[in-house]
């Protein structure tokens, strides 16, 4: 499952919910054959829901699921994560990646030094940021690398690595 967003609050009295997407094109999710909701993002039990509608509202998104027709029903879904099996997701364009594809990739600088593995990503508004972790436990070193062309030189998901312009001591 690829986690796409989170339901954050009811909207109105007819079963609509505010959606906080973790990606930049929630409207493309309209074509997914099913939506899955879960209490945690780490792979807890997922429940399937049919999408009734999704629309842009102000500067955010609202969604309505089939069978959720009042505020109480919407309130019962607040805090749930939205996910989809990878095969149901819209295809990405050249140079675009789902976060789930990047997590776990080895990060290597142009000198060949391994900086660690992508542990997670942070959405900052300006650009996404790779959280690169080297080592384990309390001794682990963490680097925050902006996901921008000046830093990211090559992403090779198939080979399992990302080449970056970043010094070992930065």
- Inform me whether the pLDDT recorded for 92 exceeds 90: no
Q: pLDDT per residue over 97-136, tens digit each? A: 888 889 999 999 999 999 999 999 998 878 899 999 999 8
Write down the pLDDT at residue 88. Answer: 82
- Count the Cβ atoms, other than its own, within 10 Å of residue 69: 15
- For 29, phi then psi, to 5°, come to -70, -15
* Sequence ranges of the domains in the chain: 2-88, 99-164
State mean pLDDT over 153-160.
95
Residue 63 pairs with which residues in a beta bridge? 17, 54
Q: Which of 99, 107, 112, 110 is nearest to 142 (CA)?
A: 107
The answer to whether 2 and 89 are in contact (CB under 8 A) is yes
- Within 8 A by CB and 6+ apart from 157, the residues are 97, 101, 102, 105
Write down the pLDDT at residue 34. Answer: 82
| The CATH classification of domain 2-88, taken from the options 2.40.30.60, 1.10.10.10, 2.40.110.10, 1.20.1440.80 | 2.40.30.60
- CA 79 to each of CA 5, 6, 17, 100: distance values in angstroms, whole numbers, following the listed order: 10, 6, 10, 20
Write down the pLDDT at residue 150. Answer: 96
Tell me if domain 2-88 and domain 99-164 are identical in fold.
no
Write down the pLDDT at residue 20. Answer: 94
State mean pLDDT over 53-71.
94
Check: pTM over 0.85? Answer yes or no. no
Answer whether CATH 3.30.1330.10 is correct for domain 99-164.
Answer: no
Q: Please give the share of the chain, as a percent, with pLDDT higher than 70.
A: 98
- Inform me whether the pLDDT recorded for 81 exceeds 90: yes
């Amino acid at each position: 499952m690829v986690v796409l967003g989170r339901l954050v609050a009811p909207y109105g009295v007819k079963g609509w919910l505010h959606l906080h997407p973790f990606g930049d094109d929630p409207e493309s999710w309209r074509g997914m054959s099913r939506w899955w909701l879960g209490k945690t993002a780490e792979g807890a039990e997922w429940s399937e829901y049919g999408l009734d509608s999704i629309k842009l509202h102000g500067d955010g998104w609202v969604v309505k699921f089939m069978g959720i027709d009042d505020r109480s029903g919407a309130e019962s879904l607040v805090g749930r994560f939205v996910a989809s099996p990878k095969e149901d997701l819209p295809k990405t364009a050249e140079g675009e990646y789902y976060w789930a594809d990047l997590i776990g990739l080895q990060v290597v600088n142009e000198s060949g030094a391994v900086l660690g593995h992508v542990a997670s990503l942070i959405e900052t508004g300006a650009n996404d940021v790779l959280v690169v972790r080297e080592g384990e436990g309390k001794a682990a070193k963490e680097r925050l690398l902006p996901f921008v062309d000046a830093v990211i030189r090559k992403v090779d998901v198939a080979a399992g690595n990302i080449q970056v312009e970043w010094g070992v001591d930065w």
